[in-house]
Amino acid sequence: MASSWTAFQDPVEHAFSLQVPVGWKITGGLYRFGPLDPRAMVDMVSPNGKTDIRFGDYHVPPYATLSATMRQLGWGEGHAYSPRNMAQQIVANYRPGWVFADLYGQGRFSSSCTRLILKSMRKADPVHQSGPHMTTTAGEVVYTCESPGGPQMAYVFAETQLTEIEGIGNWGVPWLYSFITPGDQAGDAMKTALHALASFAVNPQWEYRQFQINGEANQVIMQDFERNMAAIHADYERRSAAFESQSESWDRIIRGVDLTTDPVDGTKREVAMGTGGAHWINGVGNIITSPAQPGADYRKLNTVP
């Protein structure tokens, strides 16, 4: 999809840079909602306007879990919370990465689609490691999108990270990327996204200034930062290695079929997903999808993950 690349740097605080495709419409940068609330977002739209790849999203705030004190004040999920005016948080209970990915995808893509259909949701390996008092989860979702411009595929990867100390919880979305594209260009869109992600780099000087604002500027923090950057690049290598099989899986999801293997002769067959349950085949080749064995002459087909 992208044949040549150029550098894009956050135009406001020079906080980060990454490579973007030449000829695409690039918008975004760092958006600051408080001293402790910087949010990055970059939108990349293809020259024909049909593919939109996004890293981060400034609409996604940091979150505070609903505490006993908040309940006593009559607060609920969705309440705005700005402790000492340092960040513009929203009160919300923690969502694992795959759950957040679906919630985000519905919000991001529903306005572009006359019908948005969730085709796949799965857990994924987090990009960043968990630390003390910390929970980190990740997941990805795939949708088909019916739109006036034709059928499209939409994708979201999200990592969420919760820190809890003495009953007080805060969580955020440190790694988020998504795209929407014509179904037959999904593989190219992912390749473009992964290439840009591999080039993503935070300016160490900016990061150090941010740590000073946090009141935590020390060598340990900088070492953690370097480990996080290494994790990002390792994640790119891992996802790139698995990309070809993932592309085949997406294609089957979009077409609504499972890939199966016959335990008797090893024959591979694409079978309509149906309404749920396993796939069964009898001696004359009739296939039924059912939670239970439909008859004594049917054997179960193995579904390829």
pLDDT tens column, 225-256: 455 555 655 666 666 656 555 666 666 666 66
- 40's CB contacts (< 8 A; 6+ apart) are 10, 15, 16, 28, 29, 30, 31, 55, 56, 58
pTM of the model: 0.77
Task: Please tell me the predicted confidence (pLDDT) of residue 217.
Answer: 45
Task: Please tell me the predicted confidence (pLDDT) of residue 289.
Answer: 85
- Give the rounded distance of the alpha carbon of 190 from its chain centre: 12
What's the whole-number mean pLDDT along residues 27-45?
Answer: 93
Q: Is residue 1 within 8 Å of 13, Cβ to Cβ?
A: no
Task: Please tell me the predicted confidence (pLDDT) of residue 39.
Answer: 92
β-pair partners for 39: 31
Position 218 confidence tier, pLDDT thresholds 50, 70, 90: very low
pLDDT digits (tens, 9 = 90+) for 75-109: 889 999 888 788 899 999 999 999 999 999 999 99
Residue with the larger pLDDT of the pair 279 and 57: 57
Position 67 confidence tier, pLDDT thresholds 50, 70, 90: confident
- For the chain, the domains span 5-252, 256-303
Strands (E), the chain: 5-9, 16-21, 25-32, 38-45, 52-56, 63-64, 80-81, 89-91, 115-124, 134-146, 152-165, 168-182, 201-202, 257-261, 268-272, 278-281, 287-290, 299-303
Position 21 confidence tier, pLDDT thresholds 50, 70, 90: very high
Q: Is residue 87 within 8 Å of 64, Cβ to Cβ?
A: no
Task: Please tell me the predicted confidence (pLDDT) of residue 160.
Answer: 96
Task: Please tell me the predicted confidence (pLDDT) of residue 262.
Answer: 83
CA angle 124, 125, 130 (to 5 degrees): 130
Task: Please tell me the predicted confidence (pLDDT) of residue 231.
Answer: 60
User: Taking the alpha carbons of 282, 287, 288, 291 in that order, is the dihedral positive or negative?
Assistant: positive
Judge whether residue 299 has pLDDT over 80. Answer: yes
Pairing verdict, β 63-64 and 89-91? parallel
- Length of the chain equals 305
